[in-house]
């Protein structure tokens, strides 16, 4: 494994990492432009004052709980001295922080999944008439 990594030119690994990062950013930007299905877009624009709302896109609903959870876990680890050393330790030391972040993300996603349909209920598109 080490020999194959040494056989690659130095720029190849950097180019691959850069392209993966740019592809991830492009994917996130694309998700921010996809609105939730079954919402009346005209009513949503009326409610938000004519501004497109990025709060009700697939990207916002899919990523916000995970980003929020990881930020909250990092802030707690920064504030609690016993956890502070885990932030900069090896992967084995960070594992409990990562598990906690994923668990918190699932809780936040479940809360968001429960609350978003109730919040967006007034913005639903009327059912199409069957004429």
pTM, full prediction: 0.56
**In the prediction, which pLDDT does 100 show?**
94
pLDDT at 96: 92
Residue 1: its pLDDT value, please?
47
First to last CA, the chain: 66
Query: Among all chains, which residue has been given the structure tokens 């949503």?
Result: 44
Instruction: List b or e across 44-81, with b for residues whose CB sees 16 or more CB atoms inside 10 angstroms.
Output: beeeeeeeebeebbebbbebebbebbbeebeeebeeee
Q: How far apart are CA 25 and CA 43, in angstroms?
A: 30
* Both tokens assigned to 52: 């497109």
Q: How many Å apart are CA 39 and CA 119, to the nearest integer?
A: 11
Which of left, alpha, beta for 38 (phi over 0: left; psi -120 to 50: alpha)? Answer: left
Residue pLDDT, tens place only, 5-23: 555 566 678 888 889 889 9
- Residue 121 corresponds to which tokens in the numbers above? 């209920």
Q: Show the tokens assigned to 59.
A: 């990207």
For 39-87, write each residue's pLDDT tens digit. 666 766 666 666 666 666 776 677 788 888 999 999 999 999 888 888 8
Portion of the chain with pLDDT greater than 90, in percent:
20
Q: What confidence tier does 4 reach under pLDDT thresholds 50, 70, 90? A: low
pLDDT in tens, 77-131: 999 988 888 888 888 988 999 999 999 999 998 888 777 777 766 656 566 656 5
């Amino acid at each position: 494994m080490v020999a194959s990594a040494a056989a690659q030119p130095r720029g190849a690994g950097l180019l691959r990492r850069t392209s993966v990062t740019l592809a991830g950013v492009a994917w996130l930007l694309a998700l921010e432009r996809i609105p939730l299905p079954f919402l009346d877009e005209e009513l949503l624009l009326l409610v938000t004052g004519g501004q497109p709302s990025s709060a009700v896109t697939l990207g916002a609903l899919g990523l916000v709980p995970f980003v929020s959870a990881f930020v909250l876990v990092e802030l707690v680890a920064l504030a609690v001295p016993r956890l502070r050393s885990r932030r900069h330790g090896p992967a084995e030391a960070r594992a409990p922080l990562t598990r906690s972040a994923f668990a918190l993300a699932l809780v936040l996603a479940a809360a968001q999944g429960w609350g978003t349909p109730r919040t967006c209920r007034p913005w639903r598109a009327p059912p199409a008439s069957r004429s």
